[in-house]
Amino acid sequence: MERIAQKVRQFSTITVRWAVRSIGDDRDRWPLFIPVLMAIGIGLYFVLPAEPPLWSGAISLGVAGSATWALRRHDAFYLGLLTATIISVGFGAALLRTNLVQEPILVAEIGPTSVTGRIAWIGAGDGRQRIVLEQLTIADLAPADTPARVRISAPVPTVLTLGTVDGVGGVTEPASGATTIDYRPLPGDWVTARVVIRPPSAPVIPGAWDFARQAYFQKIGGVGFSLGYVRRADPSAGGAGSSFSGWLAGARNAIAGRVLAVDAGAAGGLAAALLTGDRSAIPKPTIDAMRGSGLAHLLAISGLHIGLVAGILFFTARGLLALIEPVALRYPIKKWAAMCAIIGALVYVLLAGASIPTQRAFLMTGLIMAAVLVDRSSLSVRLIAWAAAILLLIAPESLLGPSFQMSFAAATALIAVYEVLRRHFSRWDGEGSLARRPMIYIAGIGITTLVAGLATGPFALMHFGRFADFGLIANLLAVPLTALWVMPFGVISLVLMPFGGEVIGLVPMVWGLEGVAYIAETISNLPGAISLAPAMPTAALVAVALGGCWLCIWRQTGLRLLGIGAIMAGGIIWSTAERPDILINSDGKLIALRDEAGALSLSDDRESRFAAEMWLRRNAQKTALYWPGASKSKHANIGSTNMRCDALACSAEYKGNKIAFIRQPDALTEDCGVADIVVASVPIFQPCDGPSTVIDRFDLWRSGAHAVYLNSESGARIETVAQIRGARPWVLPPISAAKRKSKPADQP
C-alpha cells in the first residue's frame, strides 16, 4: 500500500508541475478568464442568504486591489490577489446594480383598480399581449408605494369603441357621437386600464426560476391583468406621440402589416417575426413545430439574425465599392463596409424591438466589425471575453438568465472549435473544386449545429427541461435555407420597402419560409422528437460551465482536456441528484407525491396549474397523474401510489413513512396519532406531537413552497423557497391573509 501511495503522490506531483508549466506557456490566454472570475463574484453575491451592506463591495475591492498593487512584484501572491480583485469586481458590480435599480414592490394584491401610465414595452401575443407600463399613477397607492413599472396582460384590440369614461378607467356604452377607432397600443403611448395587480411571484419549488428576482432588476414591482382593453389616457391624441420609441413601434407595425399583406399565412407570420420581432401572427401549431424540431432559435432575433444582416450588408457594400476602381484603389473599402454593417445592424436591432438579447447580439456583432475597423482579428475568444465582461459590468443579473448563458456558451464553443479547424477548412477550401465548396459549407453548418447544441444543451436542460432529438437534422436543412435565401431577401425587402418595392424581396422570402415551416412540421412529428430530462441542479450546471470555459480558453490540447473532468463531475452530480418526494405549493392547495416509479401524482387538476406544469417539467414527466378523486375527468390517469382519500384527508405509505395529507381540521385528531408526517393545507391550532414532521398552512405562509425528501431511516428533510432565496431586496416578507388581497374603497 505504501508503494502504491508513493506512486500516486509521484503521479500527482508530475501532473501538477505539468499543468503549472502549461498554464505558464499559455500566459497570453490568462486575460480570457476575467469574465469567468467576474461571473464567480456575481454568483457568490446571488447565493448569499442575506443582503450585504453596500460598503462591503467597496471595501473588498479596495483591500484586494491594494494588496494586489503592493505585491505586484511577487508572482505567486500577485496572481492570487489579482484573482481575488477580479472576483471582487463582479461581486461589487452585482451589489451596486442591486442598489441602483431598487424601486417599490407591491406587498399585496390590489384591484380591480385604475392605472395610468406610459407604455415602456409591449410584447407580441396571440389573444392577449404583455405590456410594461412606467411613470404610473395607481388609484389605490400613494406615490411613495407605487412601483416604477408594472407588467400587465391585456387583450389584443381590433376595433375599440370609446364611450363615456366611468371615472375609474372603464368604458360604458358608446355615447352619442362616439368615435370608433382601430387602436393598438404602442410604446410611448399614455394609456389607462382597469387592472388587477399582485406582487411578482416567488418560485414554485425550491431552486426553480425566481421571476421576482428578474422583475426586480427590470424595475417591475407588480404583475397582473387588464379587465378590458387598454385605452389612451387622452382619447383626443392621435398616433404614438412624439417619442422615438413610439415612432419605432409605428414603423414596426407598418412593416408587419405590409409583410402580412403579401402573405397572411404561417410563412407571412414568420417573415414578420424575422423582420420586426413580432410573433403574434405566427399560428400556434407552427410555433410548437419550431420548438419541437429545435428551430425555435430562428424565431427569436438573436446573434444569428443580426450576424446574417451585418454579414450580408458587409459583403454587399464591399462588393459594390470594389466595382468602383478609383474608390477601391484609394480608400479602405473594407472599413467602409464594416461601418455600413454596423449601421444596418443597429437599424435592424431597433426595428426588432431592441430587447436585451438583441442588444447583447448587437454588441458582439459591433465588436467584430470594430475589430475590422482597427485591423484586428474579427473572430476570437478574446473578443467574446471582452463582450462578456462588458455585459457583466453593465447588467450582472444577466448571468443568471438562459439568454446570456446560451448565447455566450454557443459563441465561445464555436470560436474555440474553429480555432482548431480553421487551418483544415482553409486547406480544404483552397484545394477544393467549385463543386466541392458547397459540401464544405454544409459540413460547416453541421459542425456549427452540433457544437452549438452541445454547448447550449446543459443550459437548455437546466431552464427548459427538454431537448430536440432531431435538432441537428432540422438545423442542417433549415439554417442554410435561412442564411442563403430567407435573410438576404429579407434585407432586400427592408431596403426596398420605403420605395414600395418590398414585394420583390418578400415573395421569395415567403417561399423560403414555407420550406422552413415544412421542415419544422415534418421533424417535430417524428416519433421521439422531444426528450425530457429532470431539472439540473445549480451545482451541476456550475461544474459544467466552468469545465466548458476551461476547455475553450486554453490553447494547448492537453491542458484543455482537463476541463472534461469538471464536465463529467457536473454530469455525475446531475445523475445522482436527489429528487423531492413531496412537493407542496405555497398556499397548500396543490400537493404532489412521488411514486415508486419516480412519477409525481397531483392532488388536484384545477388549482395552481402553472405550478403543476413546472413540477411535471422539472420531473421530465409528460403525463399528469392524479390522486384518487382529484380529477373530474373520467380519462384522468390515477397515480400508482397507495393513496387512500376521503372528504377530510388522504393518506399514503412511502419509503417506510406513514403520510397524512389533511384537508379539513376534523381529520387532525386521528391522523396526528398515527402518521409519521403530516401535511395540512389548513392551519393547525391544536397539539400534533405524534408525527416527526408537521407542515401546515402557517409554515407555507412563512416559507413558501416546500420540497420534502424522505428516507426510510432518517425520516424527512425539508427545503423551502424561503431558505433558498434568503433575505434579499426582491424577497417580500410574509403578509397576513387579511392583507393578501385588498379591495378598493369604492368596490363592494
pLDDT digits (tens, 9 = 90+) for 180-220: 444 667 777 889 999 999 999 999 999 899 999 999 999 99
Asked if 367 and 360 touch (Cβ cutoff 8 Å), the reply is: no
Average pLDDT over every residue of 391-416:
89
How far apart are the C-alpha atoms of 637 and 139, rounded to whole Å? Answer: 47
Average pLDDT over every residue of 402-409:
86
Q: Is the pLDDT of residue 525 over 70?
A: yes
Q: What is the pLDDT of residues 410-465, one digit of tens each?
A: 888 888 888 777 776 666 655 555 666 667 667 777 787 788 888 888 888 888 88
Asked if 643 and 627 touch (Cβ cutoff 8 Å), the reply is: yes
How far apart are the C-alpha atoms of 41 and 92, rounded to whole Å? Answer: 8
Buried b (16+ CB within 10 A) or exposed e, 298-337: bbbbbbbbbbbbbbbbbebbbeebeeeeeeeeeeebeebb
What cell does 632 get?
Answer: 373530474
Average pLDDT over every residue of 659-679:
88
How far apart are the C-alpha atoms of 518 and 512, rounded to whole Å? Answer: 10
Global pTM reads 0.84
Contacts of 535 (CB under 8 A, 6+ apart): 207, 208, 461, 462, 465, 617, 618, 619
Q: Please give the pLDDT value at position 97.
A: 96
For the ranges 68-82, 206-220, 339-353, the one whose mean pLDDT is highest: 206-220
Q: Is the pLDDT of residue 351 over 90?
A: no
Q: What is the pLDDT of residues 538-586, one digit of tens each?
A: 999 999 999 999 999 988 878 888 899 999 999 999 999 999 999 999 9
Q: Please give the pLDDT value at position 421.
A: 78
Q: C-alpha 463: how far from its chain's center?
A: 7
How far apart are the C-alpha atoms of 2 and 9, rounded to whole Å? Answer: 11
Q: Is 628 exposed, middle or buried (0-12, 13-18, 19+ CB in 10 A)?
A: middle
What percentage of residues in the chain have a pLDDT greater than 90?
Answer: 33
Q: What is the pLDDT of residues 602-654, one digit of tens each?
A: 988 887 888 999 999 999 898 888 888 776 665 566 766 678 888 888 988 88
If DSSP codes are grouped into helix, strand and coil, which group holds residue 288? Answer: helix
